């Protein structure tokens, strides 16, 4: 050790001794019987608070008569502050209160030294409460009889005369005039059902020489009809009257207490403590966590609008600093990986994971149906019906072309009806939407070409491929190999999801511009002869109508192309997309009532389809319409609804089918499980658990069914699943004024998927209605789904960062902890992988290697651990488990500090663990660390 290091070590040692001395000197300030109140938690919660502040106003500043003034309602709090603007006719927008720091210190001093602090008064009459408080002050010589008489008159006027701007209803009872306030019905809806009131009365008067401050907690809440704006019972009363001249600002003192009552920890202490010292400590804790701004940097009259600022995590981190023994608490990054998910752990038993999935989902099965009884689910299955119908018909057309009509739109609809309903009835994660996917379409095309080359019957050979695939998937399920999903991190899943989202966006534009090749043309007959021709791809002249079908191109000087169809299609695509986005954004806008905004956002897709379809009908332009099969029968006349296992094929084709089935198994496994990982993300706050093994088990049975029916395979569709989850998000409804809606979770149920696919099945019988829907309208829905899915991906956010100046970058967690160059390098790796996926998918000759590319992405992500540090990867991606063994166990145990095993502050809402035998020592440790919250009085 160098001399310099020795000096530093000595300084640190002396500093530690000083801090220990201060901590020991202050240890006696927190009573031992208060440890449980501050450091442990229980399941009982305290009621929410509605706080109202009324101010006494006397326009004659020289008068000492309490009858000369009047009471005015000034402020109220639920979670944020609202003040009455000039004239008393309207409330301000809810805002974060700016509290005077001196008032908080004065309030703390009052709770420690004040004599008018009353716990659990067993009185139910306002007059008796005022009398009791004032009599105690007179007995202790803190108040004169004359002052008591005037204060009594002043406070009782508030009950009898009400406030200046409220409406009054007089009713005679026992020769007294009782003033009843007209309840604010709209505000009542915003209050929690357990809310209790806190009434604050402040004012400046001339008949007092020193401040009068009193705090009362009633034993039971009492409903004072004329004291509170809303009919909720009162539990707390706070009085603050001060002389006009002095250093105590009664209004600021009342505002400080009103703000304290919005704080959860202070409110818990206020409800449960029986000592003034605890109240003082609670105020100290609030001051300790408060943010102080320089005097000239902020106008105290400024109203700061509420935002979703999550301070709880910061307080947790600060508390770890207080209780841990280490000199510096090192932040290892967010641990949001799914590798430790119990559903992805190998059980070591035959079908162990499958059995666990069944047991996990069985207890929720009834609620999967009852939880769907709401309007949001109705809007969801309407949206998902049109979101599914268009790709099903489109993929059906592509299949018809690729398989020479062996499978087409009719088979795709039939498969959707069967597979969709059965999957959502029995799957482990019914939020996942299955459908016909691009990679499966590519595989079907390759198999058909191979069968054509060898002269085999495609459908019979395909049935054996499906059977072998089902066997492979069943083996994976029964041996718990779905646990390999833990190696699919955010890097892989977002790259795959981005690919599918970009495909949706690309297809929306590509199909819209493809309409340009189906436009009609007029022959201007220059010089009186035909001067417009239609040439086929072979250079032959064909009928002009063939060009309108996209079978050729126009040539000649006399061709006048009619662009009305193309222009109308662009308007329909753009209009559909804009209307959906506008209606979706209504939920958080300030226009229209809350219920109307919610309905508009929920039914945005249906409303936009209806509006743009009506517009198309009124315009009368021949835009391309949705084409549907009109009868329930196989498209190809040479087949039935049952495919014989062999048919004309030789017997050995059954064994040969096992080889392509391996590729299909890899494709389906990755397609299904990557989508399942995205749906089961922790940020969606799912409560009913996942079911990776059960999903694959159900899918393997459905693959056998589709093989013998000769219909397309349905597997998890990434973009559709993301949009399904997003449409079922639940947010707070009865939010306090000014409180932004908070995400609560997702409605986990099976009904939306079941109803959606039932509607898909009966679509054949709704052809006359559906044929009026323009295809460009559905392309607009495609565009919305692609962009909506991209908006949920961190990859897209990081991609935008590359074009954003530093000062405009969002304040996200990974930007705070990871250098921007490292973020860009990580994003570039993802862009390269995404580009390779796109290239492999697009080139038909190598598209069969698409499943292998997905596996290669997992390998690339593992190799990136040699380039990026574990801390940076923990912020940018999920933690990837070790390839062999469970080497992370020791690391995890080392990383967890002693502080995490201790019972924490009640603010952190952490349950006390009964098995912790040294609870008293833990409380003592935390007590010592918390001594910085208490002043040395």
- Predicted confidence at residue 186, as pLDDT, reads 72
Give the model confidence (pLDDT) of 151-177 as tens digits.
988 888 877 666 654 444 343 333 333
Give the model confidence (pLDDT) of 884-905 as tens digits.
554 444 444 333 333 333 333 3
Both tokens of 886, joined, read 């469970």
Better-predicted residue by pLDDT, 156 or 305? 156
Give the C-alpha separation, 499 to 731, whole Å: 29
Q: What is the 3-state secondary structure (H, E, C) of 259-327?
A: HHCCCHHHHHHHHHCCCHHHHHHHHHHHHHHCCCCCCCCCCCCCCECCCCCCCHHHHHHHHHHHHCCCC
Do residues 671 and 436 touch, judged by C-beta distance below 8 A? no
Better-predicted residue by pLDDT, 911 or 669? 669
Which residue from 50, 45, 48 is spatially nearest to 198, judged by alpha carbons? 50
Q: pLDDT class for 932, splitting at 50, 70, 90?
A: very low
The answer to whether residue 335 scores a pLDDT higher than 60 is no
Do residues 604 and 579 touch, judged by C-beta distance below 8 A? yes
Instruction: Over range 173-188, report the average pLDDT.
Output: 51
- Predicted confidence at residue 774, as pLDDT, reads 87
Both tokens of 614, joined, read 């009506």
Better-predicted residue by pLDDT, 134 or 185? 134
Question: 51-60, 770-779, 894-903: which has the minimum mean pLDDT?
Answer: 894-903
- Predicted confidence at residue 465, as pLDDT, reads 93
Give the model confidence (pLDDT) of 364-409 as tens digits.
999 999 988 888 899 888 888 888 887 888 778 778 878 888 888 8
Better-predicted residue by pLDDT, 896 or 234? 234
Strand-pair partners of 181: 168
Instruction: Over range 554-566, report the average pLDDT.
Output: 81
Which residue from 655, 625, 596, 612 is spatially nearest to 471, judged by alpha carbons? 655
Give the C-alpha separation, 572 to 618, whole Å: 13
Tell me the helices (H) and strands (E) count for the chain, helix number first.
35, 18
Give the model confidence (pLDDT) of 744-759 as tens digits.
889 999 999 999 999 9
Q: pLDDT class for 284, splitting at 50, 70, 90?
A: confident
Domains belonging to the chain, first-starting first, are: 55-161+186-322 (3.40.930.10), 352-505+565-791 (no CATH), 793-881 (no CATH)
Give the C-alpha separation, 468 to 446, whole Å: 17
Q: pLDDT class for 915, splitting at 50, 70, 90?
A: very low
Q: pLDDT class for 768, splitting at 50, 70, 90?
A: confident
Strand-pair partners of 731: 743
Give the C-alpha separation, 107 to 596, whole Å: 44
Q: pLDDT class for 9, splitting at 50, 70, 90?
A: very low
Both tokens of 425, joined, read 């009835």
- Predicted confidence at residue 260, as pLDDT, reads 92
Instruction: Over range 790-807, report the average pLDDT.
Output: 87
- Predicted confidence at residue 705, as pLDDT, reads 93
Across all residues in the chain, what is the average pLDDT? 79
- Predicted confidence at residue 323, as pLDDT, reads 42
Do residues 517 and 507 touch, judged by C-beta distance below 8 A? no
Triad 680, 899, 47: Cα angle to 5°: 70
Strand-pair partners of 553: 535
- Predicted confidence at residue 911, as pLDDT, reads 37
Q: pLDDT class for 87, splitting at 50, 70, 90?
A: low
Instruction: Over range 239-252, report the average pLDDT.
Output: 88
The answer to whether residue 766 scores a pLDDT higher than 70 is yes
CA distances from 694 to 360, 667, 673, 774, 804 (A): 10, 18, 11, 39, 44
The answer to whether residue 18 scores a pLDDT higher than 70 is no
- Predicted confidence at residue 183, as pLDDT, reads 57
Do residues 72 and 218 touch, judged by C-beta distance below 8 A? no
- Predicted confidence at residue 346, as pLDDT, reads 80
The answer to whether residue 775 scores a pLDDT higher than 90 is no
Give the model confidence (pLDDT) of 93-129 as tens digits.
888 888 888 899 989 888 888 778 999 999 988 999 9
CA distances from 805 to 799, 810, 813, 817 (A): 13, 10, 18, 18
Strand-pair partners of 72: 55
Better-predicted residue by pLDDT, 535 or 734? 535
- Predicted confidence at residue 33, as pLDDT, reads 56
Give the C-alpha separation, 350 to 496, whole Å: 31
pLDDT above 70 as % of the chain: 81
Give the C-alpha separation, 418 to 410, whole Å: 13
Which residue from 214, 256, 217 is spatially nearest to 239, judged by alpha carbons? 214
Better-predicted residue by pLDDT, 741 or 867? 867
Better-predicted residue by pLDDT, 181 or 823? 823
Do residues 457 and 643 touch, judged by C-beta distance below 8 A? no
Better-predicted residue by pLDDT, 880 or 864? 864
Give the model confidence (pLDDT) of 832-857 as tens digits.
999 998 888 888 777 777 888 888 88
* Conformational region of residue 849, where left means phi above 0, alpha means psi within -120 to 50, and beta covers everything else: alpha
Instruction: Over range 851-864, report the average pLDDT.
Output: 88
Q: pLDDT class for 470, splitting at 50, 70, 90?
A: very high
What backbone torsions phi and psi does residue 177 show, to the nearest 5 degrees? -100, 115
DSSP labels, 618-684? HHT----B-----SSS-SSTT--SS--SSTTS-TTHHHHTHHHHHHHHHHHHHHHHHHHHHHT-GGG
Instruction: Over range 16-43, report the average pLDDT.
Output: 48
The answer to whether residue 189 scores a pLDDT higher than 90 is no
Q: pLDDT class for 444, splitting at 50, 70, 90?
A: confident
Instruction: Over range 232-241, report the average pLDDT.
Output: 93
The answer to whether residue 278 scores a pLDDT higher than 90 is no
- Predicted confidence at residue 255, as pLDDT, reads 92
- Predicted confidence at residue 750, as pLDDT, reads 93
The answer to whether residue 517 scores a pLDDT higher than 60 is yes
Better-predicted residue by pLDDT, 561 or 317? 561
pLDDT above 90 as % of the chain: 22
Give the C-alpha separation, 532 to 547, whole Å: 11
Strand-pair partners of 218: 121
The answer to whether residue 688 scores a pLDDT higher than 50 is yes
Give the C-alpha separation, 224 to 214, whole Å: 19
């Amino acid at each position: 050790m160098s001399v310099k290091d020795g000096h530093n070590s000595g300084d640190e040692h002396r500093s530690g001794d000083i801090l220990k001395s201060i901590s020991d000197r202050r240890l006696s300030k927190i009573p031992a019987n208060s440890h449980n109140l501050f450091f442990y938690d229980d399941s009982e919660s305290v009621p929410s608070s509605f706080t109202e502040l009324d101010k006494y106003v006397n326009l004659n500043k020289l008068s000492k008569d309490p009858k000369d003034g009047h009471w005015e309602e000034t402020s109220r709090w639920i979670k944020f502050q609202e003040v009455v603007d000039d004239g008393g006719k309207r409330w301000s927008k809810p805002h974060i209160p700016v509290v005077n720091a001196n008032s908080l210190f004065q309030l703390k001093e009052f709770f420690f030294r004040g004599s008018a602090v009353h716990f659990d008064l067993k009185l139910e009459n306002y007059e008796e409460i005022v009398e009791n408080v004032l009599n105690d002050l007179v007995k202790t010589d803190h108040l004169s009889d004359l002052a008591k008489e005037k204060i009594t008159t002043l406070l009782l006027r508030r009950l009898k005369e009400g406030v200046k701007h409220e409406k009054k209803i007089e009713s005679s009872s026992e020769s007294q005039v009782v003033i009843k306030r007209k309840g604010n019905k709209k505000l009542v809806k915003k209050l929690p059902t357990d809310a209790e009131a806190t009434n604050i009365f402040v004012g400046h008067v001339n008949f007092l020489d020193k401040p009068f401050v009193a705090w009362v907690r009633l034993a039971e809440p009492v409903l004072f009809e004329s004291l509170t704006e809303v009919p909720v019972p009162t539990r707390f009363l706070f009085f603050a009257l001060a002389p006009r001249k002095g250093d105590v600002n009664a209004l600021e003192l009342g505002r400080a207490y009103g703000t304290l009552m919005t704080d959860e920890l202070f409110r818990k202490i206020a409800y449960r403590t029986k000592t003034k010292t605890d109240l003082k400590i609670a105020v100290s804790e609030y001051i300790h966590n408060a943010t102080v701004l320089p005097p000239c940097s902020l106008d105290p009259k400024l109203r700061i609008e509420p935002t979703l600022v999550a301070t709880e995590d910061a307080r947790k981190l600060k508390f770890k600093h207080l209780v841990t023994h280490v000199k510096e608490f090192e932040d290892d990054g967010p641990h949001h990986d799914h590798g430790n998910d119990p559903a992805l752990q190998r059980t070591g038993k035959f079908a162990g994971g499958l059995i666990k999935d069944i047991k996990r989902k069985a207890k929720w099965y009834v609620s999967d149906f009852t939880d769907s009884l709401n309007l949001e689910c109705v809007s969801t299955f309407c949206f998902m019906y049109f979101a599914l119908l268009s790709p099903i018909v489109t993929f059906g057309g592509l299949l018809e072309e690729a398989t020479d009509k062996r499978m087409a739109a009719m088979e795709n609809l039939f498969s959707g009806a069967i597979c969709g309903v059965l999957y959502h009835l029995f799957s482990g994660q019914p939020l996942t939407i299955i459908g016909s996917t691009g990679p499966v379409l590519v595989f079907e095309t390759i198999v058909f070409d191979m069968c054509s080359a060898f002269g085999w019957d495609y459908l019979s050979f395909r049935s054996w491929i499906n059977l072998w695939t089902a066997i492979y998937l069943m083996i994976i399920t029964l041996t718990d190999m779905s646990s390999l999903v833990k190696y699919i991190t955010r890097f892989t899943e977002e790259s795959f999801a981005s690919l599918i989202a970009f495909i949706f966006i690309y297809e929306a534009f590509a199909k819209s511009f493809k309409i340009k090749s189906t436009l009609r043309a007029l022959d201007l007959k220059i010089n009186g002869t035909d001067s417009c021709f239609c040439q086929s791809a072979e250079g032959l002249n064909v009928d002009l109508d063939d060009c309108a079908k996209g079978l050729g191109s126009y040539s000649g000087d006399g061709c006048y192309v009619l662009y009305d169809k193309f222009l109308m299609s662009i308007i329909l695509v753009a209009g559909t997309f804009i209307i959906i986005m506008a209606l979706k954004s209504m939920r958080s806008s300030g226009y229209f009532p809350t219920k109307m905004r919610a309905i508009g956002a929920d039914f945005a897709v249906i409303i936009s389809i209806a509006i743009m379809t009506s517009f198309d009908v009124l315009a009368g332009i021949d835009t391309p319409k949705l084409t549907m099969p009109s009868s329930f029968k196989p498209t190809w006349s040479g087949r039935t609804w049952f495919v014989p296992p062999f048919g004309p094929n030789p017997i050995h084709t059954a064994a040969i089918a096992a080889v392509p089935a391996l590729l299909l198994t890899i494709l389906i496994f990755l397609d299904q499980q990557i989508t399942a990982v995205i749906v089961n993300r922790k940020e969606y706050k799912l409560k009913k658990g996942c079911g990776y093994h059960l999903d694959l088990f159900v899918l393997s049975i459905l693959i056998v069914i589709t093989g013998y029916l000769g219909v397309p395979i349905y597997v998890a569709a990434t973009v559709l699943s993301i949009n399904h989850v997003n449409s079922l998000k639940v947010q707070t409804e009865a939010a306090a004024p000014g409180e932004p809606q908070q995400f609560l979770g997702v409605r986990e149920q099976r009904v939306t998927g079941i109803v959606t696919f039932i509607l898909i099945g009966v679509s054949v019988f709704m052809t006359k209605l559906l044929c009026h829907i323009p295809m460009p309208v559905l392309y607009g829905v495609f565009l919305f789904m692609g962009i909506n899915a991209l908006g949920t991906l961190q990859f897209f956010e990081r991609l935008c960062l590359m074009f954003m100046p530093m000062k405009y970058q969002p304040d996200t967690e990974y930007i705070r902890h990871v250098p921007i160059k490292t973020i860009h390098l990580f994003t570039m790796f993802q862009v390269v992988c995404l580009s390779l996926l796109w290239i492999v998918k697009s080139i038909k000759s190598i598209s069969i290697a698409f499943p292998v590319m997905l596996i290669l992405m997992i390998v690339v992500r593992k190799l990136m651990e040699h380039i990026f540090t574990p801390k940076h990867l923990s912020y940018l991606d999920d933690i990837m488990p070790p390839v062999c063994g469970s080497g992370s166990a020791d690391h995890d145990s080392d990383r967890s500090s002693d502080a995490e095993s201790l019972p924490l502050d009640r603010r952190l809402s952490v349950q006390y663990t009964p098995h912790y035998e040294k609870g008293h020592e833990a409380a003592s440790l935390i007590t010592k660390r918390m001594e910085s919250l208490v002043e040395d009085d």
